[in-house]
Amino acid sequence: MKLPALALGFTLVELMVVIAVVAISLAIAVPNFAQFVDTNRFQSLSSALIADMANARAEAIRRGSYMGICASTDGSSCSGSGADWSRGWIVFVDINQDGTPVASAILQVQNLGGTAVASGTSGFRFVPSGEVRGLSSGGVRIGNSVAITLTNTTSNASKTISVAPYGLIRGN
């Protein structure tokens, strides 16, 4: 008597079950992954702003010169009043000590890329001692902390970054 041959491979029913399980798993995982990517992008953006502020302060102390950071709509000049940080910011050496960036002295340009909306002061300067001053000519000493609030455009999560008058940068 002949023994039945060993069956190798998958049947059509087994294959359909595996495809259904994979499809259900993907349907559950993809929305969570998209939210994870969005949250991660927002966190990296706020970290970039904190890093740019810290670098501007360090450069002011190292160079012994004024360093400015301000909201910018075009990547080459400050936005002015109204604190529109929605397009990004620039970090620059304030060569003329008037709060106005010169194209050759711009060190960093950051674009928000639609991930967040930011509000707060329109900009400020770090003086050679590392303290914070206003952008206007003469560099008026700022009595309170400077605060910039980033708000995620999709999840409405927000993060406030503050700089104390003596230069301490905090994100909360």
Tell me, what CATH number does 54's domain have?
A: 3.55.40.10
**Does residue 19 belong to any structural domain of this protein?**
yes
**Does residue 7 belong to any structural domain of this protein?**
no
Residue 63, pLDDT score: 93
**Does residue 23 belong to any structural domain of this protein?**
yes
Average pLDDT of the residues in 30-44: 83
Q: What is the pTM of this model?
A: 0.77
**Does residue 26 belong to any structural domain of this protein?**
yes
Beta bridge partners of 125: 68, 133
Other beta carbons less than 10 A from residue 108's beta carbon? 17
**Does residue 145 belong to any structural domain of this protein?**
yes
Residue 10, pLDDT score: 80
Residue 6 has pLDDT above 90, yes or no: no
Residue 23, pLDDT score: 92
Closest by Cα among 20, 4, 2, 24 to 12: 20
d(CA 116, CA 148): 12
Average pLDDT of the residues in 108-130: 82
**Does residue 111 belong to any structural domain of this protein?**
yes
d(CA 101, CA 78): 7
Closest by Cα among 54, 67, 73, 46 to 126: 67
- Total domains in the chain come to 1
**Does residue 1 belong to any structural domain of this protein?**
no
**Does residue 4 belong to any structural domain of this protein?**
no
Does residue 17 sit in helix, strand or coil? helix
Segments forming the whole domain that contains residue 122: 12-171
Residue 153, pLDDT score: 80
Q: What are phi and psi of 150, to 5 degrees?
A: -95, 135
Residue 60 has pLDDT above 90, yes or no: yes
